[in-house]
């Protein structure tokens, strides 16, 4: 019944010495390996099923493969009488648990055998009879395990039992809401139409349940008195002369019952009743497990919920109660607690104004004492242009102006009006050129327009290089008057409004939060890293002296108060809403 078994051993206690020793091997003629002995010893010591994973063994049959050693103890009357150990092939955890469950069921007949041997006091004839009965129990249990669905397994079981015991009818029922409900009847594929008979069978089972004992009708001589009214009614309806109802339990809880009916000429004797009780003790839990596994998923969920609810409101199970109380408190907190909904965005500091220092004329760079990042004072020299050509140009125009002045004076002395007019015009032109050259000479020093910091420009490596007129040499920003620029994602821009407050943490000072106020929202998106963002400008409430343009950080804008659960799930809900909108027709 268990696939992939390499070998097995049954270890039993000696009836004389009480010591444990191998009693049977599989395959026959083999011997137990040391690893099976280890698993058996652990199962004996811990008195529970054991699963041990073992890597490649030394046996030729299991070489280069991992194996599992499974052992289950045989217990009866509170004592451990032996252990069954198997060497099996690897399989999933759920199937390993199924192997343990099969060993538990299979060991049931051995446990019953221990009971029988004790009752018979090792009488050879009684032992032989017990062996035959136990063989029958095993065959009946095996017949129910060959079906995947519960109804087929239960019907096969009761039909086989009816055949073996010569019964006219055998029914199996299970407890539901305090009453027994027949679920399978021997030799009957569909018994739902036999309403009165099924009700009578259920009443007989309830009668045994109320007394928590086996009920036999008619009562055998010398037996303990039982109430048999429902059994008598069933006998009249079914024309059965003898009826026996046996309860079966799972642990300490009664879960079902077996009702056997046969003719009056074959009443249920004590041996048959004991056999039925032993059979119910072994087969009943097996059928109960199959019944639970064959239910609808919703029914299983409801049953599990009701069981946990009973644990929750009943005694004990303190850990479960504390867990549920904690989850309930968390749920109430999420449902009622509110917080500030804040929109996060990447931020960068920009100066409110920026002045460009440009070259006043074309020339060559002579000196550049400052560069980007330097703080400057108003009037401080930023760059110096070479003035040698300008001075030569000034000397040339100065000499030409003096020459033209003499020519004008000579023309005036001669009274030559035309020559006077020409000389005067040329002198004015030379004078203008001289003034332009003087202006250029006065602007060879490029100075800072105000106190501030140089934000762009580094000409320290370009001394002597040609400079074009109007070329930007430096950009100077004031030390005060900064604005914060936030790149707000398009999914959050609808929550932003002018006048909202927020806080900014800069990378340079993550422990100092700077408050700000939103002043402008630019309705133009910018693509960055595969996402669209909008430029939002804000004004700092205070600007520390250490603040510099270009510093980056993370800003958070307070957009209002909402439930915490809404804040934490908003993005996921919006994403799901968009996906559904895109997928739905």
Asked whether the beta carbons of 437 and 394 are under 8 A apart, the reply is yes
Using pLDDT thresholds of 50, 70 and 90, give the confidence band for residue 120: very low
Using pLDDT thresholds of 50, 70 and 90, give the confidence band for residue 123: very low
Q: Which two tokens stand for residue 501?
A: 């407050």
pLDDT of residue 342: 92
pLDDT of residue 209: 92
- For 158-184, write each residue's pLDDT tens digit: 888 888 888 989 999 999 888 999 988
- For 318-363, write each residue's pLDDT tens digit: 888 888 889 889 888 878 888 889 999 999 988 877 778 888 888 8
pLDDT of residue 122: 38
* Secondary-structure class of domain 1-106 per CATH: alpha beta
- For 13-47, write each residue's pLDDT tens digit: 876 677 888 888 888 877 767 788 888 888 888 88
Distance between CA atoms of residues 129 and 68, nearest Å = 36
Helix (H, G, I), strand (E, B) or coil at 433: helix
Asked whether the beta carbons of 216 and 243 are under 8 A apart, the reply is yes
- For 74-110, write each residue's pLDDT tens digit: 887 667 888 999 999 888 887 888 888 888 777 777 7
Sheet of 253-262: strand order equals 179-185, 169-176, 253-262, 242-250, 215-217
- For 536-545, write each residue's pLDDT tens digit: 999 888 878 7
Architecture of domain 355-476: Beta Barrel (2.40)
- For 129-138, write each residue's pLDDT tens digit: 555 666 666 6
Share of the chain above pLDDT 70, in %: 90
Q: Is the model's pLDDT at 309 over the cut of 60?
A: yes
Between 190 and 151, the more confident residue is 151
pLDDT of residue 133: 62
Asked whether the beta carbons of 279 and 140 are under 8 A apart, the reply is yes
pLDDT of residue 31: 73
Residue 583: partners with Cβ closer than 8 Å, 6 or more residues away? none
Asked whether the beta carbons of 51 and 67 are under 8 A apart, the reply is no
> How far from 576 is each of 328, 334, 566, 569, CA to CA, in Å?
26, 21, 14, 11
Q: Which two tokens stand for residue 468?
A: 């074009």
Using pLDDT thresholds of 50, 70 and 90, give the confidence band for residue 191: low
Using pLDDT thresholds of 50, 70 and 90, give the confidence band for residue 145: low
* Secondary-structure class of domain 481-583 per CATH: mainly beta
Asked whether the beta carbons of 550 and 467 are under 8 A apart, the reply is no
Q: Which two tokens stand for residue 165?
A: 């015991």
């Amino acid at each position: 019944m268990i696939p992939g078994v390499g070998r097995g051993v049954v270890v039993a206690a000696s009836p004389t010495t009480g010591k444990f020793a191998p009693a049977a091997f599989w395959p026959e003629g083999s011997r137990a390996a040391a690893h099976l002995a280890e698993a058996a010893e652990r199962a004996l010591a811990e008195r529970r099923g054991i699963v041990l994973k073992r890597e490649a063994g030394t046996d030729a049959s299991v070489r280069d493969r991992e194996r599992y050693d499974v052992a289950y103890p045989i217990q009866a009357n509170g004592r451990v009488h032996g252990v069954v150990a198997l060497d099996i092939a690897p399989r999933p955890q759920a199937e390993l648990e199924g192997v343990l469950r099969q060993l538990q069921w299979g060991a049931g007949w051995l446990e019953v055998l221990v009971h029988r041997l004790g009752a018979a006091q090792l009488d050879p004839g009684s032992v032989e009879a017990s062996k035959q009965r136990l063989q029958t129990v095993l065959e009946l249990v095996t017949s129910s395990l060959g079906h995947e669905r519960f109804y087929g397994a239960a019907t096969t079981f009761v039909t086989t039992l009816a055949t073996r015991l010569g019964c006219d009818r055998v029914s199996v029922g299970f407890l539901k809401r305090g009453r027994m409900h027949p679920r399978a009847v021997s030799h009957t594929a569909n018994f739902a139409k036999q309403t009165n008979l099924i009700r009578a069978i259920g009443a007989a089972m309830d009668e045994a349940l109320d007394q928590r004992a086996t009920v036999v009708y008619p009562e055998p001589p010398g037996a303990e008195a039982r109430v048999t009214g429902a059994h008598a009614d069933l006998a009249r309806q079914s024309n059965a002369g003898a009826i026996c109802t046996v309860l079966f339990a799972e642990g300490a809880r009664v879960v079902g019952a077996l009702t056997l009916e046969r003719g009056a000429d074959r009443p249920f004797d004590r041996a048959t009743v004991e056999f039925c009780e032993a059979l119910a003790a072994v087969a009943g839990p097996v059928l109960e497990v199959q019944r639970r596994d064959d239910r609808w998923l919703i029914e299983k969920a409801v049953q599990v919920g009701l069981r946990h609810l009973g644990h929750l409101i009943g005694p004990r199970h303190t850990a479960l109660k504390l867990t549920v109380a904690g989850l309930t408190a968390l749920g109430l907190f999420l449902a009622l607690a509110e917080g500030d909904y804040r929109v996060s965005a990447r931020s960068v500091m920009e100066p409110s104004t920026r002045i460009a220092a440009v070259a006043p004329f074309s020339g060559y760079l002579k000196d550049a004492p400052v560069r980007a990042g330097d703080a400057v004072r108003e009037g401080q020299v930023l760059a110096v242009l070479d003035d040698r050509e300008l001075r030569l140009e000034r000397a040339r125009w100065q000499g030409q102006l003096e020459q033209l002045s003499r020519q004008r004076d000579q023309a005036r002395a001669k009274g030559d009006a035309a020559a006077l007019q020409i000389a005067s015009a040329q002198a004015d032109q030379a004078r203008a050129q001289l003034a332009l050259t003087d202006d250029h000479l006065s602007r060879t020093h490029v100075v800072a327009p105000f106190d501030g910091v140089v934000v762009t420009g580094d000409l320290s490596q370009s001394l002597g290089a040609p400079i074009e007129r109007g070329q930007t040499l430096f950009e100077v920003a004031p030390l005060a008057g900064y604005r914060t620029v936030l790149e707000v994602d398009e999914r959050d821009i609808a929550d932003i409004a002018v006048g909202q407050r927020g806080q900014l943490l800069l990378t340079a000072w993550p422990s100092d939060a700077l408050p700000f106020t939103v002043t402008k929202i630019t309705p133009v998106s910018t693509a960055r890293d595969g996402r669209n963002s909008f430029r939002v400008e804000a004004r700092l409430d205070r600007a520390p002296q250490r603040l510099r343009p270009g510093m980056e950080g993370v800003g958070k804008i307070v957009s209002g108060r909402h439930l915490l659960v809404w804040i934490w799930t908003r993005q996921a809900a919006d994403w799901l809403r968009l996906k559904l909108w895109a997928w739905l027709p």
